[in-house]
Structure 1
Amino acid sequence: MLSYLICFLALTTTAVFGGVCIKPAEVSATSFTTQDATVVSEIALVAEFSLKCSNGVVPDNLYADIDGLITYVAKIDDKFQVSWTEDIKKAQRGDRNIRIFDEEGYATLRKTLRSGDDSSAVEPLVTVVVNHPGAFNGPWLKSEFIAAVLSIVVAYVAFSSKAKLLA
């Protein structure tokens, strides 16, 4: 009877605490952003990271808080990926802190947002940094404008030279 109780407690403990990342031991992240904004209307930002916990557990579901936008983190093989788009005019240059939450942290975050409290007080599982260096919006002067100005200058020089020769 005691062995059944021990087996039950072991299975229950594994089921309850088996999928919880106790302490993230190693996080490695890479980020990708749109560099050329001449032909697009929005900037795409992608953060890809791997997460290893000290207890050896890999979390199944993760959620990301991106400046108040909460989204699901996709799991691809052994890596996680979160992506989003922003308007070109609103996309800020520099580092962006993406707060990553597990199921418990996500539940706490949702509860905090519903009550109207400050969501920055909720401690994330990890924080991933995405660096956006900015996007190229094209040259300051368009080539059509430069061609029009040069043609006017050439025409002026040609007509003034003709006038001097005939005078």
Structure 2
Amino acid sequence: MAATMNVVLLLSVVFPALVFGSDVCSSPDVQYEVYTTPETVLSSETIFIIQFKLNCKNGAKNLNLYAEINGKTIVATKSVESNTYQISISDEHKNLPAGSYPVRLFDEDGYAVLRKAQRSGEDTSNIKVLKTITLQHKGLWTGPYVQSEFVAAGVAVLVWYLAYAARGKLQTN
């Protein structure tokens, strides 16, 4: 009787995990678009937004994905569209300078291994990733060296001086 109870208990725990377990994406293909903050004049932080579509060879859909960028782990937000995700990160301008940033994508299993390695202080560079996206940030435009108001005031003073000098020459002749 106890043996059948153990089998029933084991099946009630294992069966749902087998039926509702997470899909695994084989041969992932990622098409992505990237937005980065172009200037510092209108923003207080640098922002990276990556929107991507994941296509799996085995047809796996609606996976829970995670990203690791610049040492930070982020949950990828699912879109209403099938297999479309978005990742966004923001930080101070000095912490996200111009350059190339690898964005490592993980499924649930890879993310669990990543978190375990981070907690134990192990190197995370050899953990299997679903896909790596390379984000190119061109840097930030800080604005013109000379403000347009200063240029306009300088031109106005120059025009006034030339007119005043020409008037002086006309009055002496």
TM range, smaller chain: 0.7 to 0.9
Q: Which runs of 5+ in 2 are unaligned?
A: 1-10
Paired residue type of 2:56: C
When the two structures are aligned, how many residues end up with a matched partner?
159
Paired residue type of 1:15: V
Distance 1:99 1:25 in 2: 13
Q: In the alignment, is residue 149 of structure 1 matched against residue 154 of structure 2?
A: yes
* Conserved? CA contact 1:33–1:45, under 8 Å: yes
User: What is residue 109 of structure 1 aligned with on the other side?
Assistant: 114
User: What is residue 15 of structure 1 aligned with on the other side?
Assistant: 19
Q: Which has the higher strand share?
A: 1
Paired residue type of 1:43: T
Q: Structure 1 pair 76/127, CA: closer, same or farther in 2 (3 Å)?
A: same
Q: In the alignment, is residue 35 of structure 1 matched against residue 38 of structure 2?
A: yes
Q: Which runs of 5+ in 1 are unaligned?
A: 1-7
Of 61-70 and 36-45, more deviation after overlay is shown by: 36-45
Paired residue secondary structure (1:134) = coil
User: What is residue 98 of structure 1 aligned with on the other side?
Assistant: 103
Paired residue secondary structure (2:125) = helix
* Conserved? CA contact 1:74–1:81, under 8 Å: yes
Paired residue secondary structure (2:28) = strand
Distance 1:138 1:107 in 2: 43
> TM-score of the superposition, structure 1-length normalised?
0.76
Paired residue type of 2:85: F
Distance 2:55 2:30 in 1: 7
Percent identical residues: 34
Q: Structure 1 pair 24/58, CA: closer, same or farther in 2 (3 Å)?
A: farther
